[in-house]
Amino acid sequence: MTVRTNPGVRLLPNAITVLALCAGLSAVQFALTGNYAMAIASIGIAAVLDSLDGRIARLLDATSKMGAELDSLADGISFGVAPALVLYVWHSDGERIGWLAALVFAVCMILRLARFNTLLDDTEQPPYAAEFFVGVPAPAGGLLVLLPLTLSLQFGEGWWSAQVVVWVWTVAIAALAISRIPTLSLKTVKVAPKAVGPLLVAVGVLAATIILYPLIALAVAMLLYLVHLPYAVRRFRWLARHPEAWDVPARERRAIRRARSARRLGLRRPLRRRVAGAARRAVRRNGSHDSGSQGPSGRRDRGRSWRSLGIRQRGNRSD
């Protein structure tokens, strides 16, 4: 039986996308009036709305070609043009180098979104490619580039607010956006049932932190995102070398990784009999010297190595 979706409900994802576009453009208006805290908040709200529209469209079975194109155009403005203009208004002083850096960031973000649209139709990608983005996503890039402004609003002027640092940082984030560096995608993250409770508690703590210390929480989140990049690259390369782990859960992947690491290090399973390490090494050392001596019955005289250590071997008691 086919479930027909109400035409009005099908417009909901596109309405959320338009709201994200309005939030991103509002950041420019807040920057022009000198309210930079609200400018950062507007881009943050646009990022939250951008993460919702696609999920809601899939839940309502309301995905469309128009929605995908609208989402890309909105992301280009909200996370490419708007952050570049906010930084230019904040820290340009009419210099051409500032405008050049802003242009580079906006162009790179548009190119990143264009490449993302082309990868959606690529059916030759391996299964594990769905767990990663190619380059830094647009919402993350739009917030990362505002990190110097965030630190300046929270801690005041410092080395992070120098013009050279700001524009070098802008170009660096633009390079990360168009790079081929794999970054983790939260769309494919699965939470175990036993971790739902702690995760909800963590969400509550995070919400309280954002309400009480919004700028610090945003700065810490952006720094943690940068720290995760080496892990994402390492995980991507490991999956590329191990096709047997492509279609297995995360727990089984960890078991495969541990087994591979143990074989690479030459580790062996522990012995069944438990003997003190020092005594075992001594027995082996003395036993190697006496390996050529054998008793009259053709067997090695193991008792000699025990006597050489001053250890009395326990005999079999028949009583």
User: Does residue 130 or residue 250 have the better pLDDT?
Assistant: 130
- Does residue 35 have a pLDDT over 90? yes
Residue 39 confidence (pLDDT) above 90 = yes
What is the predicted pLDDT for the residue at 265? 55
Would you call 120 helix, strand, or coil by DSSP?
Answer: helix
Res 244: pLDDT: 67
Which SS3 state, helix, strand or coil, does residue 300 take? strand
**Are the C-beta atoms of 74 and 20 separated by less than 8 Å?**
yes
pLDDT average, residue stretch 287-308: 47
**In the chain, where does DSSP find H-type helix?**
7-10, 12-32, 36-59, 65-76, 82-91, 96-120, 138-144, 147-155, 163-178, 196-212, 214-241, 250-265, 277-289, 302-308
Phi, psi at 107, each rounded to 5°: -65, -45
Regarding predicted confidence, which is higher, 219 or 120? 219
Residue 38: pLDDT over 50: yes
pLDDT at 279 over 80: no
pLDDT in tens, 160-189: 888 899 999 999 999 999 998 988 887 766
CB contact at 8 A, 24 and 78:
yes
Q: Stretch 30-34: mean pLDDT, rounded?
A: 92
Rounded CA separation 29/15 (Å)? 21
**207-238: burial string, b at 16+ Cβ within 10 Å, e else:** eeeeeeebbebbbebbeebeeebeebeebbee
Please work out, in degrees rounded to the nearest 5, the angle formed at the alpha carbon of residue 184 by the alpha carbons of 196 and 47. 80
Distances in whole angstroms, Cα of residue 65 to Cα of each of 6, 70, 71, 121: 18, 9, 10, 12
The pLDDT of residue 309 is above 60: no
Give yes or no for residue 158 having a pLDDT over 90.
no
Cα 173–Cα 175–Cα 180 angle in degrees, nearest 5: 115
> What amino acid occupies position 131?
E
pLDDT at 266 over 90: no
Percentage of the chain beyond pLDDT 90 is: 33
Answer yes or no: are the C-beta atoms of 92 and 99 closer than 8 Å: yes
C-alpha–C-alpha distance, residues 184 and 189, integer Å: 9
Closest CA to 97 of 173, 174, 163: 163
Among the ranges given (50-59, 63-72, 174-183, 238-247), the one the predictor scored with the smallest mean pLDDT: 238-247
Q: How far apart are CA 59 and CA 132, in angstroms?
A: 21
- The per-residue pLDDT for 241 is 78
Tokens encoding 39:
């400018």
| Sign (positive or negative) of CA dihedral 161, 162, 167, 172 | negative
Find the mean pLDDT for residues 46-54: 88
The pLDDT of residue 293 is 45
Position 251 scores a pLDDT of: 62
Under 8 Å between Cβ of 130 and 119? no
Residues 105, 79: Cα–Cα separation, whole Å: 10
Asked if residues 107 and 84 have their Cβ atoms less than 8 Å apart, the reply is: no
Average pLDDT over residues 3-18: 74
Cα–Cα dist 237/258, whole Å = 16
Report pLDDT for 82: 94
* pTM as predicted: 0.73
- Average pLDDT score, the chain: 78
Contact 32, 13 (CB under 8 A): no
